[in-house]
């Protein structure tokens, strides 16, 4: 159905801007009538004429007075990006290239430096480098604040502009400048981009009956890889596991469904996660299916401030059900769900549509998961975890990591099941 321009907007003096705005609103009407929004109410609040005039006035000033010429299409794209990214740190407009980048990333393969970033208080903050990635090998750390890429200051940039500049053809170099705590001057890394083919699951047998399982991020293959890793650990331990250390430190998250599937792998029943949103699709509850991949082995989960998103879903679900004891430091606190909504011409919106809660109703956003056992800063670094140890081994030796050694000792302790049960009882 064609859109109507508010009558007061006819006072606008520039025909080109008026036509542009008419086209924009018509585009909105087309989107509403498309399959993306099918079934929802066609009733929409009319855009106030004063807001239309303000947008036109700003565009006029920019077109007339900005230092470089800029076209209407470019300005409108900037307006769309600003509108969406202004909602929160994780919502964004995606062009065709960015949609493809997102598709590749969820499949666990892309070309870049291998780092997860977040927009926090107008700063681009490193959540965690992916283990074994060029950024990890170069020495970037959780908590680093990115201030420049190839000399381009990121102060006024959006998170997607920053990510786009760090992506590139394999083998090409990119300079990333960061501020690190109170360190002065800033630290600059020259990183050679690579095709990031990251195995999200690593494992090792710590000693007979006790395994170590590290998940570096959550992709479409993670749950399947977890099943295979546990089966290998069991076969290397005379067919039975007594205890398992699940290491989620510096795991930045990834695919929501993968996190749910991993939590389900260790649970026989109960709610895994609940999501709250405005639309029916954004409100859901996921429950575990019967079947524990470890067959009842004791479980302890390691987390830190670099554990985010899907990592927090897993840690929160296992903690709330008393299935595992969580050890470490409070997690990052990203408790929102982003949905990719297709638009015309291969573009999309990545829009925050839900906020999730743990089975006990705990809100994760800006709060994180609080461990059952809070550990002091590790000699290896409070935020760094095993992937930043000397040599960056795929699987850490517990003798080289006090937290893994402490977790192993806890698993051996007869007190572990009792403490987990008491913690679960307090939460229900």
pLDDT digits (tens, 9 = 90+) for 204-249: 999 999 999 999 888 888 999 999 999 999 999 999 999 999 999 9
Length of the chain: 428
Catalytic residue among 200, 309, 336, 354: 309
CA atoms within 13 A on the CB side of 146: 35
SS3 174: strand
- Whether 237 is catalytic is no
Catalytic residue check, 320? yes
| Series of mean pLDDT values for 10-residue runs along the chain (428 residues) | 31 36 36 39 66 88 91 89 90 86 70 82 82 90 93 84 88 96 88 83 92 90 94 93 94 90 96 94 94 95 93 96 96 90 91 93 92 75 33 47 92 63 52
What does the alpha-carbon distance between residue 108 and residue 343 come to, in Å, rounded to a whole number?
24
Assess if CATH 2.30.42.10 describes domain 109-196.
yes
The reported pLDDT for the residue numbered 425 is: 54
Where, residue-wise, is CATH 3.90.226.10 in the chain?
Answer: 199-427
Task: Provide CATH 2.30.42.10 ranges for the chain.
Answer: 109-196
Right CATH for 199-427 from 2.60.40.1730, 3.90.226.10, 3.30.43.10, 3.30.565.10: 3.90.226.10
Helices (H), 107-255: 134-138, 159-166, 222-235
**What is the chain's Cα-based Rg?**
24
To the query of whether residue 334 is one of the catalytic residues in this protein, the response is: yes
Alpha helical stretches, state H, 128-185: 134-138, 159-166
Parallel, antiparallel, or unpaired for β 284-287 and 271-276?
Answer: antiparallel
**What share of residues in the chain are helix, strand, coil (percent, to 5)?**
35, 25, 40
- Cβ-contact 298, 320 below 8 angstroms: no
> Distance between CA atoms of 77 and 259, rounded to whole angstroms?
34
Task: Quote the pLDDT of residue 156.
Answer: 75
Helix, strand, or coil (residue 210): strand
Among residues 144, 225, 320, 401, the one annotated as catalytic is: 320
198, 140, 124, 343: CA torsion to nearest 10: -20
d(CA 71, CA 62): 10
Per the residue annotation, which of 136, 144, 160, 334 is the catalytic one? 334
């Amino acid at each position: 159905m064609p859109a109507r321009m508010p009558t007061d907007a006819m006072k606008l003096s520039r025909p080109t801007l008026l036509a542009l705005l008419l086209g924009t609103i018509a585009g909105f009407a087309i989107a509403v009538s498309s399959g993306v929004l099918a079934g929802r109410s066609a009733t929409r609040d009319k855009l106030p004429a004063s807001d239309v005039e303000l947008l036109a006035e700003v565009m006029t000033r920019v077109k007339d007075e900005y230092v470089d010429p800029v076209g209407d299409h470019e300005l409108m794209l900037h307006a769309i990006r600003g509108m969406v990214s202004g909602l929160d740190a994780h919502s964004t407009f995606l062009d065709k290239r960015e949609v493809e980048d997102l598709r590749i990333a969820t499949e666990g393969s892309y070309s870049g430096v291998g780092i997860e970033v977040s927009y926090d208080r107008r700063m681009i903050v490193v959540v965690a480098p992916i283990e074994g990635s060029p950024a990890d090998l170069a020495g970037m750390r959780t908590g680093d604040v990115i201030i420049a890429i190839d000399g381009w200051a990121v102060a006024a940039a959006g998170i997607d502009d920053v990510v786009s500049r760090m992506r590139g053809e394999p083998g090409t170099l990119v300079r990333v400048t960061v501020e690190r705590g109170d360190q002065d001057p800033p630290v600059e890394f020259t990183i050679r981009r690579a095709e990031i083919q990251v195995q999200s699951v690593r494992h090792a047998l710590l000693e007979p009956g006790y395994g170590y399982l590290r998940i570096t991020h959550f992709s479409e293959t993670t749950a399947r890889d977890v099943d295979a890793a546990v089966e290998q650990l069991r076969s290397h331990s005379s067919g039975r596991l007594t205890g398992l250390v699940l290491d989620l430190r510096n795991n930045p998250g990834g695919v929501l469904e993968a996190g749910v599937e991993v939590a389900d792998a260790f649970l026989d029943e109960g709610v895994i996660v609940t999501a709250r949103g405005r639309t029916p699709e954004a409100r859901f509850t996921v429950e575990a299916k019967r079947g524990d991949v470890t067959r009842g082995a004791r479980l302890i989960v390691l987390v830190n401030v670099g554990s985010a998103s899907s990592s927090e879903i897993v840690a929160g679900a296992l903690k709330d059900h008393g299935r595992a004891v969580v050890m470490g430091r409070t997690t990052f606190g990203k408790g929102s769900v982003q949905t990719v909504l297709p638009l015309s011409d291969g573009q999309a919106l990545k829009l925050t549509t839900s906020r999730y809660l743990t089975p006990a109703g705990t809100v994760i956003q800006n709060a994180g998961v609080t461990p059952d056992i809070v550990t002091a800063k590790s000699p290896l670094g409070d935020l760094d975890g095993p992937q930043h140890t000397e040599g960056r081994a795929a699987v850490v030796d517990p003798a080289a990591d006090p937290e893994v050694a402490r977790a192993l000792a806890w698993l051996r302790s007869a007190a572990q099941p009792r403490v987990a049960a008491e913690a679960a009882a307090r939460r229900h």
